[in-house]
């Protein structure tokens, strides 16, 4: 009975927390189906007759799909390069014993402790000197540098927990380092790769700081930067703004639902030994 009561308390806490988290999402969704006046009149009730005019405008008459494609391009390429470089670096750091490896590992960890936005001025100068101002390609190296510290931190811990016997047997059989990496390490660290991918996806997808600082061209704007152009100087059409935010949120939610098991496995990696 005591165990059941404890579980009931835990479930009630989780239910209350879920309602708190989902309430803003619900408010955003129901108001994206209303007209401007209905939003201010009753913002929390689902409309009896949903208004899809905002969705039609955003999908047909605006540049939303272009902004979405630009964001997907940047996110996809950045995450691929981050996972590739991060997994190789973690593989080396996990099996390299020495003071230099500890120093490099701490150097990567400093990237987590020091916010990247503190170096905005220097980053701006580097991107401008490379001639990448106003272009999507200026965002990619910045986002890779942003994501690598977390990738190395998560993946190194995960690789260190792998059975050493597997790697020793492969070395005895004559497998090269890259063969061990591609055939043994990568398949075993998929949960951690999924965790790193989701963390970086959320950071990059929701970032508006660097696209705004780099003054992206109209054809190179990302999704979050594009949302700001739906705000008017004297008046804002909140229906269209909420439609864009709803459509921008859906891919993140769907991806998390599809990869939730991998995400949880990656977060709990190393928590239990034996």
pLDDT tens-place string over residues 135-158: 889 999 999 999 999 999 989 888
Is 212 inside any structural domain?
yes
Tell me, rounded to whole angstroms, the distance of Cα 226 from its chain centroid.
18
Summary mean pLDDT of the chain? 84
Is 21 inside any structural domain?
no
Q: Can you give the pTM of this predicted structure?
A: 0.82
pLDDT tens-place string over residues 42-53: 888 888 888 888
Find the CATH number of the domain harbouring 233. 1.10.3720.10
Is 202 inside any structural domain?
yes
Token pair recorded at residue 12: 């009630």
Q: Is the pLDDT of residue 273 over 60?
A: no
Domain that holds residue 176: 49-267
- The pLDDT, as a whole number, for residue 271 is 46
Task: Report the pLDDT averaged over residues 198-207.
Answer: 88
What is the count of structural domains for the chain?
A: 1
Residue 80 CA to residue 236 CA, distance in Å, equals 37
- 28 closest CA partner among 256, 260, 222, 240: 240
Is 32 inside any structural domain?
no
Is 39 inside any structural domain?
no
pLDDT tens-place string over residues 105-133: 888 888 888 888 888 899 999 999 988 88
- The pLDDT, as a whole number, for residue 270 is 47
> Using the 8-state DSSP alphabet, how is residue 58 labeled?
I
Is 26 inside any structural domain?
no
- Which residue's structure tokens are 């806490």? 13
């Amino acid at each position: 009975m005591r165990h059941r009561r404890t579980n009931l308390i835990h479930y009630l806490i989780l239910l209350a927390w879920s309602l708190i988290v989902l309430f803003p999402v619900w408010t955003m969704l129901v108001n994206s189906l209303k007209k401007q006046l209905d939003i201010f009149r009753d913002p929390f009730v689902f409309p009896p007759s949903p208004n899809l005019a905002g969705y039609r405008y955003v999908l047909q008459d605006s540049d939303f799909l272009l902004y979405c494609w630009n964001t997907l391009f940047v996110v996809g390429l950045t995450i691929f390069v981050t996972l590739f470089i991060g997994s190789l670096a973690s593989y080396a750091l996990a099996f390299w014993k020495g003071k230099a490896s500890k120093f490099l590992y701490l150097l990567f960890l400093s990237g987590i402790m020091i916010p990247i936005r503190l170096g905005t001025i220097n980053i701006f100068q580097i991107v401008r000197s490379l001639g990448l101002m106003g272009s999507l390609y200026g965002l990619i190296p910045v986002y890779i540098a942003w994501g690598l510290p977390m990738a190395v931190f998560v993946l190194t811990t995960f690789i260190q927990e792998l059975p050493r016997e597997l790697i020793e047997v492969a070395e005895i059989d004559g497998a090269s380092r890259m063969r061990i990496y591609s055939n043994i390490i990568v398949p075993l660290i998929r949960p951690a790769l999924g965790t790193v991918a989701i963390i970086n996806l959320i950071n990059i997808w929701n970032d508006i700081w660097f696209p705004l600082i780099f003054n992206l061209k109209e054809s190179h704007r990302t999704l979050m930067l594009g949302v700001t152009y739906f705000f008017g100087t004297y008046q804002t059409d909140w229906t269209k703004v909420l439609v864009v935010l709803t459509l921008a949120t859906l891919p993140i939610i769907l991806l998390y639902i599809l990869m939730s098991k991998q995400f949880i496995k990656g977060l709990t990696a190393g928590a239990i030994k034996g």
